[in-house]
Amino acid sequence: MNFATLDFIVFAIYILGIILLGLWVSRTKKDHERNSEDYFLAGKTLPWWAIGASLIAANISAEQFIGMSGSGFAIGLAIASYEWMAALTLIIVGKFFLPIFIEKGLYTIPEFIEKRFSTNLKTILAVFWVALFIFVNLTSVMFLGGKAIDTIIGTGDGSLIIYAIIGLAFIAAAYSLWGGLSAVAWTDIVQVALLTLGGLITTIIALNYVTPEGGVIHGFSHILNTAGEKFHMILKPDNPQYFNLPGIAVLIGGMWVANLYYWGFNQYIIQRTLAAKSLREGQRGILFAAFLKLIIPVLVVIPGIVAYVLFAQPEGTTIIPGIKEAFLKTGGGINYDKAYPWLIRTFIPIGLKGLVLAALTAAIVSSLASMLNSTSTIFTMDIYKPYFAKNASEKRLVKVGRITAGVALIIAVVFAPLLGNIPQMFQYIQEYTGLVSPGILGVFLMGLFWKKTTNKAAIIGVVLSIVVAFILKIPAIGLAWMDQMMYTLLITMVIIAGISLTTSDDIDDPKGIPLTSKMFKTGQVFNIGSYILMTILAVLYAVFW
């Protein structure tokens, strides 16, 4: 079923609408010149519902719709732990991390490092994050998005990827470079609604087509019965995908390292909570996002399992023509990341196909816009201002932010096509980010909650953590990568503690953060919502253990 004229019209309306909305919501009032707080923190005016929607829009991208759906094909529902455990992680971030960040009045996460440790460590991490956002996050999202569009609109041979990448870059740049976080956050509300609607449409239609009889409930029952091995949240050691999701580590091990680092100390995620009207609004926004995380696997993992069931059906049974050829790579092997775009291309009818592609594009563009804004924020506030223009005017800072985002986008467009075909892009990104995230998380946790942590210990700890991570990655050791992350974090924290105790005469560091029980007191809505969410999670893991 090809992409028809009606689909192109629907898609074009989305593109034009989101650009105009982004420019409109970020317009400045008469006689008011946009300053750095307006551009980088949306003037600290975001309500809870905008924060929650924007958190999900920044998070859900091609990595999830394409990469996680591909992992659903390869691994099954177990990959949903990234979403469901993230919901619990968000509660922890809202209760224990956000109060400190809001109290410090932060623009960026590196700024916290400067206030707690030193300018040198802040600069090291700022440079690292700018490079990570450009060469890993932006490039991977663009490549996956380009590959999806090539599969849906084109022939899937890669001929449209570069044009799709350029198109995605243009859409994200058209409103985010001018409007800053205001444009990003307010358009994210529409983007989240659209990506949820599009995701549900794809899931419903895929389940309806997975059996000759049709019907969503019948379809779900069919995949549950025929692919029961794909519905276990905790993988056993004999599972061929165990090294990607090593059993109980998703509950009490390395999954926490990935989630705490991503949701607690990732600039392009945490930035919208720093833009909250108040701490209470920020915490409610985080709670809203946590509940939204519960439904994400329905949108992205179930379609991947449907594609697996269709692919794995034995010869002679009802099978969709061309499915095996669609997933096979040249030279053999399966390209799991083709699962989601293939379902859209094969099953979604004319008209709806344009809407679903718009939803997928919304997920990609919202993440690109968030990454661009955060890259420009870190470069402008943590590198440019302190080292090149300490007395720069507000107008100058905003201009530099726009230029930085533009340059980052151009670099990412150039490098994105070089990523090539990786069987499970989502797992690949998680694994190799995991080489550096444990050390950084260790520095933050020790800096936040142990006043004796010294700057010298933090610098040595974060550097040695990379060495430790590479050592634990040696095949002879035989550790799953998620276990490597946990051990790296623990070893890093021991190193930081040891150096701090031996170099500080067992006294509190002058920059240590004084913590009180009052600081972590949360409102009734947050508390009740948290208990409900944790109960739902307990039921989900009990049912799909």
Q: How far apart are CA 479 and CA 207, in angstroms?
A: 37
What is the percentage of the chain residues whose pLDDT exceeds 90? 31
User: pLDDT: is 190 or 384 the higher one?
Assistant: 384
Across residues 49-74, what is the average pLDDT? 83
Lowest mean pLDDT among 304-318, 404-418, 522-536: 304-318
The DSSP element (H or E) to which 450 belongs, if any, is none
Q: What is the pLDDT of residues 166-179, one digit of tens each?
A: 999 998 888 788 77
pLDDT at 321: 57
Asked if 170 and 36 count as a contact pair (C-beta separation under 8 A), the reply is no
pLDDT at 331: 43
User: 3-class DSSP state for residue 473?
Assistant: coil
Under the banding of pLDDT at 50, 70 and 90, the label for residue 156 is low
Residue 83 has pLDDT above 90, yes or no: yes
CA distances from 307 to 115, 147, 242, 274 (A): 49, 17, 21, 40
pLDDT at 165: 92
pLDDT at 427: 61
Residue 478 has pLDDT above 50, yes or no: yes
Q: How far apart are CA 102 and CA 254, in angstroms?
A: 27
User: pLDDT: is 39 or 203 the higher one?
Assistant: 203
Q: How far apart are CA 497 and CA 443, in angstroms?
A: 10
Lowest mean pLDDT among 302-306, 331-335, 517-521: 331-335
Residue 432 has pLDDT above 60, yes or no: yes
DSSP 159: T
DSSP per residue, 169-238: HHHHHHHHHHHHHHHHHHHHHHHHHHHHHHHHHHHHHHHHHSSTT--HHHHHHHHHHHTGGG--SS--TT
User: What is the reported pTM?
Assistant: 0.86
Residue 433 has pLDDT above 60, yes or no: yes
pLDDT at 30: 67
Residue 46's beta-bridge partner residues?
276
pLDDT at 421: 56
Asked if 136 and 430 count as a contact pair (C-beta separation under 8 A), the reply is no
Residue 327 has pLDDT above 70, yes or no: no
Asked if 438 and 488 count as a contact pair (C-beta separation under 8 A), the reply is yes
Q: Backbone phi, then psi, for 479, in 5-degree steps?
A: -95, 140
Residue 184 has pLDDT above 90, yes or no: no
pLDDT at 316: 44
Report the range out of 170-184, 292-306, 422-436 with the highest average pLDDT: 292-306
Under the banding of pLDDT at 50, 70 and 90, the label for residue 400 is very high
